[in-house]
Amino acid sequence: MLKEVYYPSEALSKNATIKSMDEYRALAEEASRDYEGFWAKYAKEKIDWFAPFTRVLNEDNAPFYKWFEGGKLNVAHQCVGRHIATKKNKAAIIFEGDNGDQRIITYRELWYEINRAANMFKNQFGIQKGDRVVLYMPMISEAAISMLACAKIGAIHSVVFGGFSAEALRDRIIDAEAKLVITADGAFRKGSPYMLKPVVDKALEHGCECVKAVCIVERNGEDIEWIAGRDYAYNELIKNESNVCEDEMMDSEDPLFLLYTSGSTGKPKGVQHSTAGYILWAQMTMEWVFDIKDNDTYWCTADVGWITGHTYIVYGPLAAGATTVMFEGVPTFPDAGRCWRMVEEYQINQFYTAPTAIRLLHKMGADEPKKYDLSSLRILGTVGEPIDPPAWKWYYEEIGGSKCSIVDTYWQTETGGHMISPLPGATPIKPACATFPLPGIITEVIDEEGNPTPIGEKGFMCVTKPWPSMIRTIWGDPDRFVKSYFGDCKKDGKPVYFTGDGAMIDEDGYVTITGRTDDVINVSGHRMGTAEVEAAVKKHSHVAAVAVVGKPHPIKGEGIFAYIVLKETIKDTTAEEMDIAQDINKIIKEEIGAIAVCDSIVIVPDLPKTRSGKIMRRILRSIAKGEAITQDTSTLEDPSIVKKIEDIVNSDDI
Ligand code: WTA
């Protein structure tokens, strides 16, 4: 690990919301002294309540915590409506299309758009408070507008990333029992149109009787099929709607949205977020971690289909009254300078992306940043996966001109917002280190027995107190919620939240996240559950058994490595190997989406199993990485299998 420490620039510190480590410590101290008082203060100050809350935190039914009970609010009002008085002509969303087309939406125009869409959902589709609406959208402004229109009327949105397949979309629609699907004909990517509506058609072929209508935004103008009585044109219907709409009075704990994410077992989980706690932390972290100021233009390159897109493209920036950029395209088109050209064009002050993108842009265009004026940048952010020191240095020096603070933000779909992150005007930064928990977030790194791990040793990253923006439950499966995140370990009599990540604290108290400790693979900053990928691979008729593991990848962080055992009947047909690998990846694309395809698929005679039949994934992980096997193999049913698999992997030169 690099030993250098990078201090925030004086100019940055001077004007920052949190200016020094003393201020940070004072806030953290205040939170630990009077936890509820701390949160109550911010909730009162930041949220424009329609009715005040009467209880800060209800822990009676832990871990089903409730925050700010009795309070009434509306997230669309918090994000847009309340800003009209002071910011109506300010740009709320700057949209840039793949082909460079632009749309700048002011706060006033955004408010009208949200109201019209909200009226359309109510009047045309009968959507009411509590109904679920699935969004399968490209990165266009209507995605944000539809999310906020749902919030406005109290409908619960579930955004499904546009890269997911029809099967994956269907599963999510059925699980949420969605009444309405909002999509687009398609959009543009790398200069060409791509399609989304046909995927929705396929998803709805069976099992989705809950869906009463599909509402389609026109983006690329390509031909699509229209099913009479089910499919409606967003752009046509919205024209007839009024731009005035009542805010639904929402309770603090009403669900705001569901977002499906992968766990180590079974199907993706519908992570359910609350209204008040979620929006409070989304806004506070914009102010603390991105130090957002009224004149700033902020750009997060995530997709709205992920939590980063929810909290840090739509809800956080708008709640903070900022100007947020939405980009339809990819960072490498038309060339690897696209992002830097956009930074110059829009004078971006905060730029937030994933380490995968940084590594890719470094590799494809190390000199591109030099061609642009990046001096507007003040804060750079990373998210989704650990960043390696070389990528960090390039980002710091070439993009940030050695004057920007880099915030390595550690958090999860379940946490709603940042948990561990530098504060740009305060924290002396160690490269590739998430540094310290934010004030109000109480974390601990513990061992198997629940004891804090010694300095420099890896343990489990846990959160020991409930926080406002935390997951409330898994949609339709409260038992799974408890089992997935809360073990037997208790602090102050309350169950501890397990993140599923490993972490280490150094002698200065800095936290480094070391990666997942469960069977979740992090591909380009996206979570993939091994169980999900394995279930897809098993659909291949020749596959008898499969185990997938993560393998370090120079750009993607981790790639997926699959070991498969063929059925007896076709075991000797090695000539078919190549086709089998291709066929398996085709099935994965159909079942999940292109993000889950395997980089390597090797055929092995058997998997390393214990006598009770448990697959020893740790051995498979070590072999994939080319590491020496240090695990005890004597408990295996057939210890000789390890050597056989090693030989195959090494001879394949994968
Ligand atoms: C990983 C994304 C290291 C981690 C916001 C976590 C990180 C998972 C970081 C959540 C970081 C996220 N450093 N690892 N700064 N940020 N992760 O739910 O493994 O898509 O559990 O949320 O990404 O992924 P998710």
Q: For a pocket test of ligand 1, which of 527, 528, 556, 558 has the largest count of ligand atoms closer than 8 A to its C-beta?
A: 527
Q: For a pocket test of ligand 1, which of 306, 412, 510, 514 has the largest count of ligand atoms closer than 8 A to its C-beta?
A: 412
Please name the residue that has the structure tokens 């806004």: 283
pLDDT at 1: 47
Distance 525 CA to ligand 1 centre (A): 7
Assess whether the C-beta atom of 500 lies below 6 angstroms from ligand 1. Answer: yes
Distance 524 CA to ligand 1 centre (A): 10
Domain extents in the chain: 10-330, 520-651
Phi, psi of 642 (to 5 degrees): -65, -45
Three-class DSSP category at 564: strand
Residue identifier of the C-alpha nearest atom 7 of ligand 1: 385
Assess whether the C-beta atom of 524 lies below 6 angstroms from ligand 1. Answer: no
Going from the C-alpha of 421 to that of each of 273, 395, 410, 441, the distances in angstroms are: 21, 17, 6, 11
Distance 383 CA to ligand 1 centre (A): 6
Assess whether the C-beta atom of 529 lies below 6 angstroms from ligand 1. Answer: no
Distance 520 CA to ligand 1 centre (A): 11
Assess whether the C-beta atom of 558 lies below 6 angstroms from ligand 1. Answer: no
10 Å CB burial of residue 492 (0-12, 13-18, 19+) is: exposed
Please name the residue that has the structure tokens 């630990």: 32
pLDDT in tens, 511-529: 999 999 999 999 999 999 9
Answer yes or no: are the C-beta atoms of 561 and 600 closer than 8 Å.
yes
Distance 228 CA to ligand 1 centre (A): 42
Phi, psi of 227 (to 5 degrees): -100, 115
Distance 386 CA to ligand 1 centre (A): 8
Nearest CA-CA partner of 252 in 78, 70, 416, 130: 70
For 430-477, the DSSP string reads: PTT--BSBPTT--EEEE-TTSPBPPTT--EEEEE-S--TTS--EETT-
For residue 420, the ligand 1 atom closest to its alpha carbon is 15
Assess whether the C-beta atom of 512 lies below 6 angstroms from ligand 1. Answer: no
Nearest CA-CA partner of 193 in 171, 159, 219: 219
Helices (H), 104-153: 107-125, 141-153
Answer yes or no: are the C-beta atoms of 421 and 409 closer than 8 Å.
yes
Assess whether the C-beta atom of 285 lies below 6 angstroms from ligand 1. Answer: no
Distance 594 CA to ligand 1 centre (A): 20
Assess whether the C-beta atom of 72 lies below 6 angstroms from ligand 1. Answer: no
Hey, how many other C-beta atoms are within 10 angstroms of the C-beta on 570? Answer: 14
Distance 52 CA to ligand 1 centre (A): 34
User: For 284, how many CA atoms within 13 A lie in the half-sphere containing its CB?
Assistant: 28
Distance 409 CA to ligand 1 centre (A): 8
Assess whether the C-beta atom of 87 lies below 6 angstroms from ligand 1. Answer: no
Q: For a pocket test of ligand 1, which of 304, 308, 513, 521 has the largest count of ligand atoms closer than 8 A to its C-beta?
A: 513
Q: For a pocket test of ligand 1, which of 278, 382, 385 has the largest count of ligand atoms closer than 8 A to its C-beta?
A: 385
Assess whether the C-beta atom of 253 lies below 6 angstroms from ligand 1. Answer: no
The encoded tokens of residue 308 equal: 């980063």
Hey, how many other C-beta atoms are within 10 angstroms of the C-beta on 370? Answer: 11
Distance 514 CA to ligand 1 centre (A): 10
Residue identifier of the C-alpha nearest atom 11 of ligand 1: 410
Assess whether the C-beta atom of 408 lies below 6 angstroms from ligand 1. Answer: yes
Please state whether the predicted TM-score (pTM) of the whole model is above 0.85.
yes
pLDDT at 576: 61
Assess whether the C-beta atom of 115 lies below 6 angstroms from ligand 1. Answer: no
The matching CATH number, chosen from 3.90.1200.10, 3.40.50.720, 3.50.50.60, 3.40.50.12780, for 10-330 is 3.40.50.12780
440: phi > 0 → left, psi -120 to 50 → alpha, else beta; which?
Answer: left
Distance 412 CA to ligand 1 centre (A): 5
Terminal CA-to-CA distance of the chain, rounded, Å?
A: 28
CATH number for the domain formed by residue range(s) 520-651? 3.30.300.30
CA distance 97 to 110: 18
What is the dihedral angle through the alpha carbons of 547, 549, 555, 556, rounded to the nearest 10 degrees? 80
Assess whether the C-beta atom of 303 lies below 6 angstroms from ligand 1. Answer: no
Residue type for 251, please?
A: D
Assess whether the C-beta atom of 522 lies below 6 angstroms from ligand 1. Answer: yes
User: Please, what's the b/e burial string for 294-313 (b: 16 or more CB within 10 A of its CB; e: otherwise)?
Assistant: eebbbbbbbbbbbbbbbbbb
Distance 244 CA to ligand 1 centre (A): 39
Residue identifier of the C-alpha nearest atom 8 of ligand 1: 412
CA distance 276 to 254: 8
Residue identifier of the C-alpha nearest atom 13 of ligand 1: 386
The parts of the chain modelled with pLDDT lower than 70 are 1-3, 571-578, 652-654
Distance 576 CA to ligand 1 centre (A): 38
Nearest CA-CA partner of 226 in 241, 209, 240, 213: 213
Distance 230 CA to ligand 1 centre (A): 38
Nearest CA-CA partner of 564 in 579, 584, 591: 584
For residue 516, the ligand 1 atom closest to its alpha carbon is 19
Going from the C-alpha of 643 to that of each of 76, 614, 623, the distances in angstroms are: 59, 18, 10
Distance 221 CA to ligand 1 centre (A): 36
Distance 269 CA to ligand 1 centre (A): 16
For residue 408, the ligand 1 atom closest to its alpha carbon is 15
Percent residues over pLDDT 70 in the chain = 98
The encoded tokens of residue 177 equal: 């029992």
